[in-house]
Amino acid sequence: MIPGGNGLKQRGQADKMRKYIQCIIAIALCATPAGAEVPSFDRIIRDYNSIRTISASVKQQVYMPGGEARYFSGDYYADSSGNLRIDYSYPEQETVINNSTGFYWYIPARRTVYVQKGRDSGRSMLNPLPGRIIEGDSSKLKLKYEGIRFYSFFKRAAVWSITSEGSPLIIRVWTDPDGLYVIRKYVLDANGIELVRENYSGHVTVGGVYLPSRVEVLARTPAGVVHSHTEYSGIAVNLTLQRGLFVFKKSRDTAERPLDEM
Amino acid sequence: MRCRALRAVALSAIVICFILFTGVPAYAGAVLFHGKTVDIDLSDLEFYDGRPDETAVRSICAEIIRRYHDRGYTAFCIKRAVLGDDGILEIYFNESVVRRIKVQGADNSENRIAAEIYTAGRVFNEFILEDNIEILKAKYMLARLRVDVARDNDGSVILDLYPVRASATLDFYIAGDPLRGLVSVFTAGYAGESLDSEITLRSSLPGQTDVAFSSGQLRLRQGNAVSGFVTGAGALYSEDSLDSEGLMIYSAVNAFADCGWFFSRGAGRLELLLSGSFYSLEDYPRGERAMLFPLSLRALYDDRRTALDRNDYVLAEFTCSAGWNSMEHSAFVSYIFYSKLSVPLFRRLYGFVTAESFFTTLAERLFGRYVFTGLLACRRDDYTAKSAVHSAGSGFTLELIKDHIYLSPGVYGGMYGGSTDVYRSAWCAGADILWDAGLVAVDFRIVREISGPGGMIFTLSAGGRF
């Protein structure tokens, strides 16, 4: 036995421990971004505000609470005023229009248009610009940065919450850490229960703006959770759209019914 | 709803008083709005050209009302409009704030629905109200939520709510367990206005293995509240093994009761419970009776109740108890922990991590836990029980058919021992196939032990909510 061997051993262990702690500190410092600045949300708002019109081809799968699945495909047009038009070609020819006068779903085979009058009446069903979070006057909204969190295979997202006076709802938005595009959006009630969840993926750059090419939406309804997947292809922004595209012209032989009866 | 009636009242309630002085030359005039708080753009109406007559003033008022009503402020009306001799037109608004919200048949101060349907003191907006009705119907599982809108004497708005709750739930499932065979679980719940109650019955189906149990439990909890009292009582009859082979069987009757306080917020829930538990034993070497008096803290985080994506959730449950044990004449501490975390990785591919842990300072086998159940359910008829069992696992979930069929392969490992034992470990791998048909779900599990003598274990579980 070496005299003082225990002391040497303990000192060796202490040195090892010190090196270990130094390594940990070094790794932690490397992992922390210099300055650790709060990401910005401005770029996303600015980008979306630069979009005057958007058009794309869409493929949509909707999973109803009872297990029924529906498939749709067609052409989609929207503008910055919130007007929207989808010309479905599958499973049958149908036209959906949302404008300042109301929401119209026209089914030529039935010679019927299902209508809900009033501005924004279709906004809950269709988001005119995929991935757009803030519409209209953003000065009344309170934006709060909640930090970075991991998701999927150790990817990072910056998390924001948006609230507005008079509304109990909270909108939680996940963006990429550089603040270029939106990854997820949640609409929560005051108790944190998710009412709507939107997942955005497959982002493409069109006209300098990051837009999602895949949007997954889960929405809580009285009948259960409605789940939909929408894929956008051939996305074009700021094209001049035909005048009157967002106006529904009702012909004489078309019957008008409330949307609830659809 | 009486919103249409309100709109008619609002329109008919326009009182226009204006004084026109004749002989005043034509000029460009200003319009002043009194009582305007809502963010509606009226800037283009702030000036007018020429000298307005009664028709022009009426048309300005009608345009203001139209803009308010189009934005959902359907109780808005104009109290009066006055045209001064200085050419200034003054218009006095009644934007109609919501003064009172009353839920019929409930204590208004404690009713969360009243607080969430609309903020008292804010301007009434029909669109917001309609949105909130749909939100609350979905959230509180209301069959109906009727809202009567009425105007008070001072022009403010009163909301009377008539909620009809979906009050009863019934859950039934059969769980496969390699030690006890098939175990049936039946839960009936009733959510009242002020009290929630739940009865749970569990029983292993008879004649399957050497060990068996049957239990019944009633729990009561203050309803419609974020915090309040919770209490429960129940009984358990079990036949358990004194050795790991199941050669010596003892039976136990356990009666228990607890009461305490809970606090819940969002997906989180905290309970502090004072409990009493009495055991009557037969063929148990240490004695015929045992009593435990623990104070327990139970923390639960389960965001499956709040989240929409069923494969993106965090579940964690931790119960820690400390008290007195009459059989060993000593104080004790024990805890049970279970957690599962599932995260989306790629389209239709999810990753999960799960862990469970049990520990008690009690040395008697009666208070221990079978090792090869739960995450380490990889041996049949191995009744090894220990006072410390820790296990964890990880794997993937693949969504084979959207919202219906899921395949979840995973690897699980664990350690078990006691205060005097050497810790041993066990590893197993397996897969779950879950078929979710909405009301009914069926889960088939295959597990094989990697580390020891265990063979292939198959278990089948099925259940649903009716």
DSSP state of A26: H
Task: Say what the pLDDT of residue B190 is.
Answer: 87
Task: Say what the pLDDT of residue B215 is.
Answer: 97
Instruction: Output the six-digit token pair for B244.
Output: 């790991």
Task: Say what the pLDDT of residue A37 is.
Answer: 60
Task: Say what the pLDDT of residue B120 is.
Answer: 81
Say if the Cβ atoms of A166 and B119 lie within 8 Å.
Answer: yes
Secondary structure of residue A109 in the 3-state scheme? helix
Q: Smallest Cβ distance to A220: which of B308, B344, B404?
A: B308
pLDDT at A33 over 50: no
Task: Say what the pLDDT of residue B14 is.
Answer: 35
pLDDT interval class at A129 (50, 70, 90): low
Task: Say what the pLDDT of residue B111 is.
Answer: 62
pTM for this model (two decimals): 0.68
pLDDT at A19 over 60: no
Say if the Cβ atoms of A195 and B345 lie within 8 Å.
Answer: no
Low-confidence ranges of chain B (pLDDT < 70): 1-28, 51, 104-111, 141, 143-144, 164-167, 193
Say if the Cβ atoms of B403 and A67 lie within 8 Å.
Answer: yes
Task: Say what the pLDDT of residue B115 is.
Answer: 76
Task: Say what the pLDDT of residue B203 is.
Answer: 96
Residues paired with B101 in a beta bridge: B159
Instruction: Output the six-digit token pair for A142.
Output: 């309170």
Residue A118 touches partner B, C-beta closer than 8 Å: yes
Residues paired with B418 in a beta bridge: none
Sheet containing strand B142-151, edge to edge, reads B98-103, B157-165, B142-151
CA distance A73 to chain B (A): 19
Tens-digit pLDDT profile for residues A66-103: 778 889 999 999 888 888 899 999 899 999 998 888 88
Nearest CA in chain A to B352: A152
Cα-Cα-Cα-Cα dihedral sign, residues A115, A119, A124, A127: positive
Nearest CA in chain A to B129: A167
Query: What is the mean pLDDT of the segment spanning A30-51?
Result: 66
Tens-digit pLDDT profile for residues A236-248: 998 888 878 989 8
Cα A41 versus chain centre, distance: 14
* More confident position, A16 or B284: B284
CB A178 within 8 A of CB A155: no
Say if the Cβ atoms of B265 and A191 lie within 8 Å.
Answer: yes
Say if the Cβ atoms of B135 and A65 lie within 8 Å.
Answer: no
Say if the Cβ atoms of B39 and A140 lie within 8 Å.
Answer: yes
Task: Say what the pLDDT of residue B221 is.
Answer: 93
CA distance B466 to chain A (A): 14
Exposure string for A6-43, b = 16+ CB within 10 A, e = fewer: eeeeeeeeeeeeeeeeeeeeeeeeeeeeeeeeebebeb
Q: Smallest Cβ distance to B138: which of A188, A218, A222?
A: A222
Residue A65 touches partner B, C-beta closer than 8 Å: yes
Judging contacts by C-beta atoms under 8 Å, the chain B residues touching residue A189 are: 116, 135, 139
CB A16 within 8 A of CB A23: no
Judging contacts by C-beta atoms under 8 Å, the chain A residues touching residue B265 are: 191-192
Residues 6+ apart with CB under 8 A from A212: A130, A131, A181, A182, A200, A201, A202, A203, A232
Residues B255, B274: Cα–Cα separation, whole Å: 14
Nearest CA in chain A to B133: A222
Judging contacts by C-beta atoms under 8 Å, the chain A residues touching residue B306 are: 188, 191-194
Residue A152 touches partner B, C-beta closer than 8 Å: yes
Whole-number Cα distances in Å, B354 to A219, B300, B390, B403, B413: 28, 15, 11, 22, 11
Say if the Cβ atoms of B135 and A197 lie within 8 Å.
Answer: no
Judging contacts by C-beta atoms under 8 Å, the chain A residues touching residue B123 are: 166
Which residue from B192, B199, B190, B188 is spatially nearest to B225, judged by alpha carbons? Answer: B192
Say if the Cβ atoms of B438 and A190 lie within 8 Å.
Answer: no
* ipTM over the 0.85 cut-off: no
Say if the Cβ atoms of A193 and B139 lie within 8 Å.
Answer: yes
CB B302 within 8 A of CB B310: no
Task: Say what the pLDDT of residue B118 is.
Answer: 86
Torsion of CA B118, B120, B123, B126, to 10 degrees: 30
Task: Say what the pLDDT of residue B327 is.
Answer: 93
- 1-60 in chain A: CB under 8 A from chain B: none
Q: Where is A31: in which H helix or E strand? A: helix A5-31
Cα B405 versus chain centre, distance: 25
Cα B294 versus chain centre, distance: 27
Instruction: Output the six-digit token pair for B358.
Output: 């049990």
- The whole-chain average pLDDT of chain A stands at 78
Tens-digit pLDDT profile for residues A131-179: 666 655 566 678 889 999 888 878 899 999 988 766 677 889 999 988 8
Task: Say what the pLDDT of residue B193 is.
Answer: 66
Residues A103, B339: Cα–Cα separation, whole Å: 46
Say if the Cβ atoms of A189 and B134 lie within 8 Å.
Answer: no
CA atoms within 13 A on the CB side of B176: 17
Residue A139 touches partner B, C-beta closer than 8 Å: no
pLDDT at A128 over 90: no
